[in-house]
A and B are shown apart, each in its own frame.
Chain A
Amino acid sequence: MTRSTMLCGIAALFLLAGVAAAGEPAVELKVVKLGALDEAIAKHKGKIVVVDFWATFCIPCKAEFPNLVKMHQERARDGVVCMSVTVDDTDDQAAALKFLQKQQATFENFLIDEPAETYQKHYDFGAVPLILVFGKDGKLVKKFNAKSKDTAFTYKDVRQVVESLLK
């Protein structure tokens, strides 16, 4: 192989890589207030919506996050909308985005820019992890939030609810 052919080949590879990268959906993080978040959920009426609340300081949240990504990869085509909401400070937006990019969270991601009191009261929970499952009618079907030994949950439990709604 001549040197020029090889160089052409390498250039072609870089070009392809560039095109491939550009073709992938970007991972984005949008800073929102409460009203906008509710709207973002409501606009998917007709589909099942799974909203995963997490934070960069929540280690179990981050450990479970791949399960949300997996659900998206497996079920988006069947009408399941996966969404993440971080309760991080806006100061930590870059760190949150970095995590989402690493996770390849190619669905809607939000950072809720409200005082803890506001969003905790609104969604009725104390701390992340929190997972909300909305039915096709836009109504909340199940809230997963461990406030006691009885309400401890895993993604297996979330999946069960989602699968039952898909039947």
Chain B
Amino acid sequence: MGCTNLLLSAAVLLAFTAAVPADGLKIGAPAPSFSNLDTTDGKTISLDDLKGKDVLVIVITCNHCPVAGAHEDRLIAFAKKYCGEGNKIGLVAINVNNSPPDRLDKMKERAKEKGFNFPYAYDPSQKIAEQLGAVCTPEFWVFDKGRKLAYHGAFDDDWKGENVKEQYLIPAVEALLKGDRVKKTTTRAVGCGIEYQKADK
């Protein structure tokens, strides 16, 4: 028991201190923690707030990117179907870009305008994105009950959502709900590069 805990702790520590692998967080890696991020409804959100959910979907997105914008309706539909009261799936959208069109005030406008039915949070430190190994908006991560990464990549195979031939996120979520193995665990997301800013010296 002690040995397992030690190994687990070492693994978690390694996951955070080691450089994030080139393709981002590895399948099976633990969800990075985030706490007290401002959301567009005037509240805050932390990873712990979602611990009652069996499946957690994190999407790194933003306001200005047309690819992210093209996914908004799909996110709303997903949240409507899977994330309502009493449902076992949590969804949180996080923006880490800091240029004017992406700041919290503009995020609030967008959330209101589109009627976002999921929390849209702001992490100006960009830490959550770095810990996920996020490179573009939108990019998706699905974590299981134990908050281990089960799927990472795109929502489906067509960013415009017009000629979708294969779903990726939904089958992953449904597999987890059934207790099945996720068949396709990693796909390549297409989108706008995250506007990482060099840390102030």
Contact = CB atoms under 8 A, between A and B. Distances in A.
A127 B61 CA distance: 13
Contacts of B199: 149-150
**Secondary structure dominating the interface of B:** loop
A117 B188 contact: yes
Contacts of A57: 65-67, 191-192
A165 B136 CA distance: 30
B149 to A, nearest CB: 16
B135 A126 contact: yes
B193 A58 contact: yes
A126 B196 contact: no
Nearest to A125: B135
A136 to B, nearest CB: 28
Interface residues of B, number: 26
Nearest to B70: A57
Nearest to A129: B193
Contacts of A116: 188-190
Given A57-B66, A124-B22, A127-B135, A148 B192 contact: no
Nearest to B137: A127
Contacts of A86: none
Contact of A146 (B24, B190, B195): B195
A151 interface: yes
A126 B189 contact: yes
A127 B198 contact: no
A114 to B, nearest CB: 11
A112 interface: no
A149 B196 contact: yes
B191 A127 contact: yes
A126 B130 contact: no
B130 A149 contact: yes
The bracket for how many chain A residues form the interface is 20 to 34
B126 A60 contact: no
Given A59-B64, A127-B135, A127-B136, A151 B196 contact: yes
A90 to B, nearest CB: 12
Contact of A58 (B24, B160, B192): B192
Interface in A95-148: 115-117, 120-121, 124-130, 145-148
A154 to B, nearest CB: 10
A152 interface: yes
Interface string B166-200: 00000000000000000000011111111111110
Contacts of A145: 193
Given A59-B64, A147-B135, A120 B196 contact: no
Contact of B193 (A117, A128, A149): A128
Contacts of A129: 193
Contacts of A148: 20, 130, 196
Given A117-B188, A149-B199, A150-B198, A126 B193 contact: yes
A152 B192 contact: no
Given A147-B135, A149-B197, A150-B198, A59 B188 contact: no
A121 B126 CA distance: 24
Nearest to A145: B193
Among all A-B residue pairs, the 10 with the closest Cβ atoms: A126-B135, A127-B136, A127-B193, A57-B66, A117-B188, A146-B196, A116-B190, A152-B196, A116-B188, A152-B198
9 contacts: A57-B67, A57-B191, A59-B64, A120-B188, A126-B193, A129-B193, A130-B193, A145-B193, A148-B196
